[in-house]
């Protein structure tokens, strides 16, 4: 994991005067090219790294730079630990635990106990199986770090049940709503796309490398382009849920025990399944095309159970 490796490099350079790129690459089982990128990231973070050429050359932290353990406040340490804990179930446990231990070493035992009492994160679901890393996540991460092309088969239920074979320039991994996605440039269609990692199979990493492109952040907001708002009439028993999902300002009393909500919605199978889960406690007032589609789905369910 990149964040754990970078933190380890910083701590190593604090302990030793100089370390070569080849030694670091061997230690972390990555290429020297990846190490150079890590050093660049550390420098951008404000830690001055110097490099010296030659047989006895390597990287070192400037002597005048004093890295105090108190460079992080208790609040900042808490933020770091919360961030690491939040991805505990989706990346390697050893990597996260090592990173947490190193971050906690920056504060005293008393402060650590206080941090542990302040908040706890359990990212596992209430029901169903525990979240796990999808197969291929580590291979994709390595390809991203080394700028290598990847080829894989991708099953998109919205484009049919036949897997598509794609060649992609992987740019970065995205963890959204506890689901891993890979953002990459599709060489065939000539544009950035998002791929759900769990739908990727037959993954192959090529020896061919590519020059990284400027990542388009708007690709991450793809849902915004498809998002519409429904007018829902719902029973007061759904008020707690609607407050969480729609926000207080988007719900209002209609009459009696009925309320109105402005409900964010994407017209796909997941969206319609979500609406139908409210049963007879909720009615879609508008738009008409969503109401019509719900009617068709309800009639289909009725036919299944009426036979």
Q: What is the pLDDT of residues 14-44, one digit of tens each?
A: 767 788 888 888 888 888 888 888 888 888 8
- pLDDT, residue 205, reads 95
- What's the CA gap between 18 and 239, in Å, rounded? 61
Spatial CA neighbour of 17 closest among 54, 65, 83: 65
User: Mean of the pLDDT values across residues 219-239?
Assistant: 81
Q: Do residues 169 and 214 lie in contact, with contact meaning Cβ atoms separated by under 8 Å?
A: no
Taking 80 as the threshold, does the pLDDT of residue 69 lie above it?
A: no
* CA within 13 Å, CB half, 72: 17
Tell the burial category of 44 from Cβ atoms under 10 Å away from its Cβ (0-12, 13-18, 19+).
exposed
Q: Is it the case that residue 181 has pLDDT exceeding 70?
A: yes
Instruction: Check pLDDT > 80 for residue 277.
Output: yes
Q: Is pLDDT at 128 greater than 70 in this prediction?
A: no
pLDDT for position 222:
54
Distance CA 286, CA 50 (A): 62
The predicted model gives 75-104 an average pLDDT of 68
Domains of the chain (ranges; CATH) run 2-67 (1.10.10.10), 73-118 (no CATH), 148-221 (no CATH), 227-306 (3.30.70)
Residue 74 contacts residue 111 (beta carbons within 8 Å): yes
Confidence of residue 191 (pLDDT cuts 50, 70, 90): confident
Mean pLDDT for 198-221 is: 82
3-state class (DSSP) for residue 227:
coil
For residue 109, give Cα distances in angstroms to 29, 72, 121, 143, 208. Answer: 32, 15, 20, 39, 48
pTM higher than 0.75, yes or no?
Answer: no
Residue 293's pLDDT band, with cuts at 50, 70 and 90, is very high
Dig out the tokens for 107 from the structure. Answer: 């504060």
Crossing angle (nearest 10°) for helices 32-44 and 2-15: 80
Contact indicator for 131, 125 with CB cutoff of 8 Å: yes
Beta strands in the chain (DSSP E): 49-52, 58-61, 148-154, 164-176, 179-186, 191-196, 200-209, 228-235, 251-255, 258-265, 282-286
Residues contacting 140, CB < 8 A, separation 6+: 150, 170, 173, 182, 197, 200, 203
Vertex 252: Cα angle to 248 and 256 (nearest 5)? 135
Distance CA 191, CA 214 (A): 12
């Amino acid at each position: 994991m990149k964040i754990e490796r970078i933190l380890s490099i910083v701590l190593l350079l604090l302990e030793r005067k100089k370390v070569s790129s080849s030694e670091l690459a061997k230690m972390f089982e990555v290429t020297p090219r990846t190490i150079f990128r890590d050093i660049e990231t550390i420098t951008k973070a404000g830690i001055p790294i110097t490099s010296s050429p030659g047989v006895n050359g390597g990287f070192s932290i400037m002597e005048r730079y004093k890295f105090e353990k108190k460079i992080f406040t208790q609040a900042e340490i808490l933020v770091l630990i919360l961030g690491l804990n939040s991805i505990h179930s989706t990346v390697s446990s050893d990597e996260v635990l090592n990173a947490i231990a190193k971050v906690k070493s920056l504060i005293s035992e008393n402060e650590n106990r206080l941090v542990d009492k302040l908040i706890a994160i359990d990212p596992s679901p209430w029901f169903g199986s525990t979240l796990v890393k999808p197969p291929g996540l580590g291979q994709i991460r390595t390809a991203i770090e080394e700028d290598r092309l990847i080829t894989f088969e991708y099953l998109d239920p919205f484009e049919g049940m036949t897997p598509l074979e794609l060649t992609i320039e992987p740019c970065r991994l995205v963890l959204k709503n506890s689901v891993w996605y890979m953002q990459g440039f599709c060489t065939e269609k000539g544009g950035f796309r998002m791929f759900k990692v769990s739908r990727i199979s037959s993954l192959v990493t090529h020896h061919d490398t590519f020059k990284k492109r400027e990542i388009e952040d708007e690709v991450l907001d793809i849902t915004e382009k498809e998002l519409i708002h429904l007018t829902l009439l719902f029973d007061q028993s759904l008020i707690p849920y609607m407050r969480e999902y729609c926000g207080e300002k988007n719900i209002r009393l209609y009459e009696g025990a009925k309320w109105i909500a402005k409900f964010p919605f994407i017209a796909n199978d997941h969206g319609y399944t979500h609406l139908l889960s409210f049963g007879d406690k909720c009615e879609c007032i508008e738009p008409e095309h969503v109401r019509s589609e719900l009617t068709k789905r309800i009639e289909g369910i009725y036919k299944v159970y009426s036979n």
